[in-house]
Amino acid sequence: MGSGNLILNVNCKANKYIGNDKTKLIPKLYTEIPKYKYTLEELEVIVNQFNRFSEKDDYYKFRNHWNQKYADDKFDKSFIYETILLLKMCSNSMIRFNSQGVFNQGFRGLGKSKEFFADSMKKLCVDGLNNLSDTLKSRLYEFSISDFLDLSHEDLYGKDNLLLIDPPYILQQNMYTQDFSQKHDKCLLDILHKTKSDFVYFNYLNRDGQNNDNLNNITKQFNTIHINSKTASGQGRSQGSRKVKEVIITNVYM
């Protein structure tokens, strides 16, 4: 499910919108967020607890605090505030966990400011949470935590569904991980061939001269739409943009 942007913004009617991810953070947050109303006063309490994030070390103490709550499954209202604060302060505002399941993004930096969160940014955080809460209450959403290999055959291969598939962008054998293996990659490509549902699949055909050969082999069988030729995401952002060939592959023809 990634960040959930696809499922929250897809422009189609459905009986239910189901988001699944193997990592628990987003499914659990999106289940909890609609339960509350968010205020600047509550956010300020947390900012004050951590020295208003006036020093670099404040971030790392806060990150340790966040990681402990995450490990303990304490997805309470405070954790929701803490998560948006953490993501605003970390490098590239990206969710990244190490092999031990610990959030390990570094600090973005204070710059010339005496504290990280200006009033305008705090308001942006609160408004964003309330807007997201309203969005999650506007439709029948259901979020689950599972390896997609364990999802039901009917969900993946049956008709009358729309599958939004946004996997890790794998380009070569040594880029597979324990969480996303060659078995996962092969299963996704099998789904594209066998499913009776409509699907929209995102990935790279090429990045910095490296080809996704398995994916290239099926592009002629489906509608392939080129959507991006460069990226500045990931840990190499300081090195400038990288050349990519990002595509949507779909069995829907418009």
Instruction: Determine the Cα–Cα distance for residues 53 and 42; give it in Å rounded to an integer.
Output: 16
Torsion of CA 36, 40, 43, 47, to 10 degrees: 180
For the cut 70, the answer to whether the pLDDT of residue 254 exceeds it is no
CATH 3.40.50.150 domain position(s) in the chain: 148-250
What tokens appear for 124 in the block? 């942006």
The pLDDT value given to residue 167: 86
pLDDT single digits (tens) 5-50: 999 999 889 999 999 998 999 999 999 999 999 999 999 999 999 9
Which comes out higher in pLDDT, residue 6 or 182? 6
CB-based burial, 16-35: b 16+ in 10 Å, e otherwise? ebbbbbeeeebbbbbbbbee
* Mean pLDDT of the residues in the chain: 89
> Which CATH number is 148-250 given?
3.40.50.150
Q: What is the pLDDT of residue 200?
A: 94
109-128 tens-digit pLDDT: 998 889 999 999 999 999 99
CATH number of 27-137: 1.10.1020.10
Q: Please state the rounded mean pLDDT for residues 104-111.
A: 92
Query: Does residue 216 contact residue 245 with C-beta atoms inside 8 Å?
Result: no
Q: Where are the beta strands (DSSP E) in the chain?
A: 17-21, 141-145, 162-165, 198-207, 210-211, 223-231, 242-250
Mean pLDDT calculated for residue range 186-201: 91
Q: Where in the chain is CATH 1.10.1020.10?
A: 27-137
